[in-house]
Structure 1
Amino acid sequence: MKAIGVTGPGRTDVNLLDIPEPPPPGRGQVVVEIEAAGVGPWDRLLNTGGWDVGLRPPAALGVEGVGRVCAVGPGVQGISLGDRVLAHDAPLPGGSGFWTEQVLVTAAHAALVPDALDPVVLAALPVNGLTAVQALVVLGLTAGQRLLITNGGGSTGALAIQLAAVAGVEVTATASPSAADRLREYGASEVIDYRDPAWSDRAQGGFDAALIAVPGTATRALPLVRDGGQLCSLTSDAPASERGIASTDLYVRPDAAQLTQLTTDLAQGRLRLAPEPVPLTDGPDAYDRVLTGRTAGHKLVLVP
């Protein structure tokens, strides 16, 4: 099978590969024929020890995607041959990821999705959407409370804005000026230019919570959170708690039920995404663009 991935343990160079088909599914597993697979900055961690997902090179990278079930293992309930499913899976049961033509997936991590939805849009949802949902659960905000999001223009931040706004939370986000109108349409009440050295001075303090989606902003955001508030970092740099503020790092986990709800939100127009499809064979360039920040705010999605 064609794949985009790595040839050996610890390798950081990503190439077009020819890898074997996945093994027959074991108990609780399915094989999915990939329609589209998301690319994220976390993918650089899969083969370098930063995120141990059980990769066994030579192997495809990628931990999220959508496709049709083409084989079903024993003990799988609620998923049948031909079903379309969306998944974020980690660890990877077959030792290889989603940037290929077929992948072995844990059935319990896969959500059934409607045929009518665009696979490119669906593939942009799992990791960023689950991260946004799980962060908002940690923060526990209710209608009328105030949330600061750093890097609101990124894929996770933009989804968190939309989900928080639907819940009646007042959102202030940092982002580039080019993203400001888009984020206001998503529900942000204020957008602050992240390039302004005094951005934290421009933000009115007293936030009930802060969601950190870009490295290096947690320590500047913490003073803006009220006593007894919450800070959740997606970049592994939550500062020490102070003033009764709960300060935590969050690491995304698979959750089929949350994916199902996100898919429903997408189908009913409560979420909007604007991913960029890229042919699988251009995967190395897409990977490089993501790592170097050359995506113009778009989530990149590989299409076999």
Structure 2
Amino acid sequence: MTTNEDHPEVLRYTAFSGDPDGGNPAGVILDARALSDADMLAIAAEIGYSESAFLTAPPEGLREAAADGRAYTVRYFSPKAEVPFCGHATVATAIALAERIGPGDLVFATRAGTVPVSVTEEADGSLRATLTSVEPYVEKAADDDLTEALAALDWPAADLDPALPPRIAFAGARHLVLAAATRERLADLAYDFARLEALMHRLDLTTVQLVWRESATVFHVRDPFPVGGVVEDPATGAAAAAFGAYARELGLVDEDAVLTLHQGEDLGRPGRLTVTLHAGDPRVRVGGTGVRIG
């Protein structure tokens, strides 16, 4: 690993909350040029958050296309592995950059594809970042895989909401969407870590998106993340984007819709994610506030 003299500055931000004790914390390393893959993984493990983001120079074509050079390559590492895309670390990184170079449009080159992010300043002076996902897709989950997921979660099939059928959804990373019939079912989460982790590796899932529908456009969600070495992710932007694609694909919401996802309440780290869908554009927008920790 790099020496202490070469160790980059590690910033800590929370995303999807204006409270440092809310939302989902992420490590942000704004200059990772000197780091190897092993270095980045080791730093992410040392930080201990569900993901950390590492910035380097963008590909040549993206550098030329972005206004004022506001383009970057971003890689995301959990304490156990690199992940193709992370929404909350994207929001955290965009806000960290905006504090240094000002609000505006950014472009991130990720393993999942090019992700534009817009940062605006709210009336109260807080910063809000909104990412635009890569093009999503939704597919059915195999019956055997669903059975195994429910067994790992210790959820009876009767506790699922039949109006929100299980699906695998992608908007930068793959997530299995399972809907609970009651808020009580969602709140009661004690799962077999190793069993769910094995299934998720086999299906190339980043999280399992557990959801309960409060109203037409308001949802409560939780995201087990054993493949990242974390029992649960407090606020998950990539899963929120995937869920937006899921909700549109199944006709649960209008083609033009704004959804509110509440996450982290059961962990004592409440956060709010805004999911925006536009008719004629398959991509999903996910936004939220963020703030530096400490």
What is the TM-score when the length of structure 2 is the normalising length?
A: 0.31
Q: Which has the higher contact order (CA 8 A, sep 6+)?
A: 2
What is the TM-score when the length of structure 1 is the normalising length?
A: 0.30
Between structures 1 and 2, the one with greater strand share: 2
Larger Rg: 1
